[in-house]
Amino acid sequence: MRRKRRLFVLFMLAIFLPAVLTPLDAGASISYIKNGDFANQPEFNSYDDIKAISQIKPGINRLLDYSQAYSLDYPSHMNLDATLSQVKTSLWDDKTCIEIYRDDFSQTVHNAAAYQYYSNCFLNNRQDHQIQENRSINIAGSKAHLLRWQRNKLSRVAGDKNYYMSVEIPRNFKEVYTILIKSSSPSENFLPLVKSFSFIDKKGSSQISTRFKKKDKAWNEETKAFYEQYFGPGASLQWGIFENSAPASMDYLNKLENNLDYSFDFLVIYKTFDAPFPLEELHKAYEEQKYVELTLQTMWYNQDNSSVTYDILNGHYDDFFQDYAIKARQFGHPILFRLNNEMNGDWCVYSSYYSSKDTELFKAAWRYIYNIFQQNQADNVIWVWNPHDISFPGFMWNHSLNYFPGEEYVDVIGLTGYNTGTYHQGEIWRGFRQIYYPLYEEYCRYFDYPFMISEFACSSVGGNKALWIEEMFAQMGKYERIKVAIWFNGVDFDLVGRAARKYRLDESPAIIEAFQKGLQSYKPDPKGNKTRQ
């Protein structure tokens, strides 16, 4: 009777939703996943994220991922996570993690061949990566690329999965699938799993079906009050700036603030391994009634940094981070601590582009550093997680959500998108709304957190910067969850030292005037309260 009823349901589904679900073998025991959650019945609409699982033989399940148009056989004891289906579907057990990605480059400059090459450039670092296998293989009627490699075990990662297999399977010139396998033991036994991959018809729509929610923190009283004032539900937008000379010298910034008729609440300080914790600079900023967004980028200037993530997770920088945590606690006042920003850009050495395209290692390093601060009771540190608005390379394994370290470890979501101008070939002029409207809408779907624009600016090369600033102020008030916006008052130089992206506010009187006019609605009212436009 149950078999007849299931066949009837599938028959009716085929009549009313013919473009959604192709049933598995009618005799199989089927489980369904709808928008990231298991569902008892196959009741789907065309906009749903649809997957089905059946046992095809003892110990082996078959996943049919209709929204991403593939099937794969896998060990039935493995767990499955489809909550990030638009980015990846994950299978895992205690020893192994399997991630399946689909990239469609139809509207981009990429193609399947370029993807295969660029995704594996981390192998240029032969000191840390040892190749076991690198060859072509036929999968699903396509010429795929199979790569196996390993690295040494990391001493600070429990159950480190240091054996890898990656298979890139092109469906056509612009569409490619990746099966990335990470295991704590050699990965050659996963070849049958890889060979079981096949293409199916795409039906439904892949989705992100999870939201990340901020956790409460045991901050000291001043930091609690600061967070409520600047990032609480009723907080109004406040402004900050990066000015290279400040806070060591406040002369230039004081002149700029006089010209703008506005006093910034926040300063950005950038640090690397080349310098210790900037305790004196933080005290100087605090004396000037400014809070600091301390940006630590785990790298050295003018050194080979390709092993930095591995080195952190081998404990090579424990003393550095211990000192950072102790000095942060000694400072005592609130610190916005932005660790390893723009990690989804290959210009950052802590990007997983350099470490086996394994974003779990970025997250492990973040959590490791975070725990050092917790052990040292640094209860005045507010953790800011800040990807770039555009992932580069623009591949799904490099998607920003793959880098999110977990709700417990993040307090503020940072947004960064620049109008870089048109100095470099391929760059385009982007308006403020063009950058921030889609970014804001996307992050509102993913995160129950306050936001800040951790750094941003507009270049003067390729368009009218003053008009861009006017548009920025006209639009900014619409994004109520953005609580702080910090202008990058600097210059990016090209490889021969010429000013390429001119972000400074002091380039012309027109730019100063546009910014000064826009800031007036954010000045304190007669009672000293700053208001949102």
Q: What's the pLDDT at 23?
A: 40
Q: Does domain 2-199 have CATH number 3.40.1000.10?
A: yes
pLDDT > 70? residue 100: yes
Class of domain 235-522: alpha beta
pLDDT band at 28; cut points 50, 70, 90: low
Mean residue pLDDT of the chain comes to 93
pLDDT band at 530; cut points 50, 70, 90: low
> CB under 8 Å to 270, separation ≥6 — which residues?
242, 295, 297
pLDDT > 50? residue 6: no
Q: What's the pLDDT at 525?
A: 67
> How far apart, in whole angstroms, are the C-alpha atoms of residue 444 and residue 449?
8
Q: What's the pLDDT at 528?
A: 57
Q: What's the whole-number mean pLDDT along residues 233-249? A: 97
> How far apart, in whole angstroms, are the C-alpha atoms of residue 232 and residue 213?
14
Write the pLDDT tens digit of every residue in 490-516.
999 999 999 999 999 999 999 999 999
pLDDT band at 394; cut points 50, 70, 90: very high
- Nearest by Cα to 242 from 485, 464, 412: 485
Question: Which amino acid appears at position 273 of this protein?
Answer: F
Q: What's the pLDDT at 188?
A: 75
Per-residue DSSP letters for 210-253? --EEPPP----HHHHHHHHHHHSTTPPPEEEEE-TTTTT--HHH
Write the pLDDT tens digit of every residue in 405-436.
999 999 999 999 999 999 999 999 999 999 99
Q: Which two structure tokens, joined as six digits, stand for 170?
A: 């092109």
Q: Which helix (H) or strand (E) holds 145?
A: strand 142-150
pLDDT band at 56; cut points 50, 70, 90: very high
Q: What's the whole-number mean pLDDT along residues 121-139? A: 97
Q: What's the pLDDT at 39?
A: 86
SS (H, E, C) 309-370: HHHHCCCCCHHHHHHHHHHHHHHCCCEEEEECCCCCECCCCCCHHHCCCCHHHHHHHHHHHH
In the block, tokens 């293989």 appear at 137
Q: Which residue ranges make up each domain of the chain?
A: 2-199, 235-522
Q: What's the pLDDT at 108?
A: 85
Q: What's the whole-number mean pLDDT along residues 127-153? A: 97
Q: Which residue has the higher pLDDT, 13 or 212?
A: 212
